[in-house]
Amino acid sequence: MKTVILAGGLGSRLSEETTLRPKPMVGIGGIPIIVHIMRIYDSFGFNEFVVACGYLSHIIKDYFLKLNHMDSDLTVSLKDGTCVATNGPLFDWTVSLVDTGDQTMTGGRLLRLRDWLGGGTFMCTYGDGVADIDIQALLEFHNSHGKLATVTSVCPPVRFGALSLDGDEVVEFGEVDTHSENRINGGFFVLEPAVLDYIDGDDTQFEGAPLKGLARDGQLMGYRHDGFWHPMDTLRDQRHLEQLWSSGNASWKLWS
């Protein structure tokens, strides 16, 4: 089964990092967040990826083209130019890197990938969010309900300290990044090919008319994920994820 990574946006809210590189290439622990996301799927045996590129797509292509070589020991034959890589990551992945346009919206990017998806059920997520999600359980949930689409529902991290008041007295002060009760779209979709029929073209935001239409038609189900989930929308988010990684508390690290 193929997994689409939406990786073409401008990342304007993270402009400190995205002036020179696309947001999925911003690092956590020196590793682009897109690789963290792929390793989540790979932990459950899903290793065929289709990356919907756009803004600064050449940087994503260059990274994956060189990944095994740059992280490996190399033996180069100066006689014939051959190169053998050893002791590297050697990910058993197939990664298709597809230009879907600099200005194309998320729905339009999916629609442009129709011919790359093989006509079967596929998974999809954003290239800027990580979670300790059980991908196999997500897929089983999708298969159990028989609808066209599944979206993972999550509780967003609280952006500010939460106050519990008794009159004017603060009786409890919540830590930043505790979770609220309002559930939102956390990505990590499972989709049937007919979902693409809900998308009009390049200007279609997947989060707009397509998802609303699927919900209206009774074809959208929500998989409840109550574990860790965090986006990388801002520099503050990136620093928070970096701190979790460096302290050994990266809940999304499902691999050894």
pLDDT at 71: 81
- For residues 57 and 101, what is the distance between their CA atoms, to the nearest angstrom? 9
Residue 48 lies in a domain: yes
pLDDT at 14: 82
Residue 166 lies in a domain: no
Contact 204, 210 (CB under 8 A): yes
Pairing of strands 229-231, 129-131: antiparallel
Which residue in the block uniquely carries the two structure tokens 């509780």?
A: 155
Residue 255 lies in a domain: no
- Burial of 30-46, coded b for 16+ CB within 10 Å and e otherwise, reads eebbbbbbbbbbbbeeb
* Beta-carbon-side half-sphere exposure of residue 139 (alpha carbons within 13 Å): 14
Contact 141, 223 (CB under 8 A): yes
Residue 224 lies in a domain: yes
Residue 228 lies in a domain: yes
Residue 175 lies in a domain: no
Count of the separate structural domains present in the chain: 1
Domain membership of residue 221 as a residue range:
2-149+182-246
- Per-residue pLDDT for the chain (256 aa), expressed as one digit of tens each? 999 999 998 877 787 777 889 999 999 999 999 999 999 999 999 999 999 999 999 999 999 998 888 888 999 999 998 988 888 777 889 999 999 999 999 999 999 999 999 999 999 999 999 999 999 999 999 999 999 999 999 988 766 555 556 665 555 555 545 555 678 999 999 999 999 999 999 999 999 999 999 999 999 999 999 999 999 999 999 999 999 999 999 999 999 8
pLDDT at 162: 57
pLDDT at 13: 77
Domain CATH code at residue 53: 3.90.550.10
- For residues 135 and 156, what is the distance between their CA atoms, to the nearest angstrom? 19
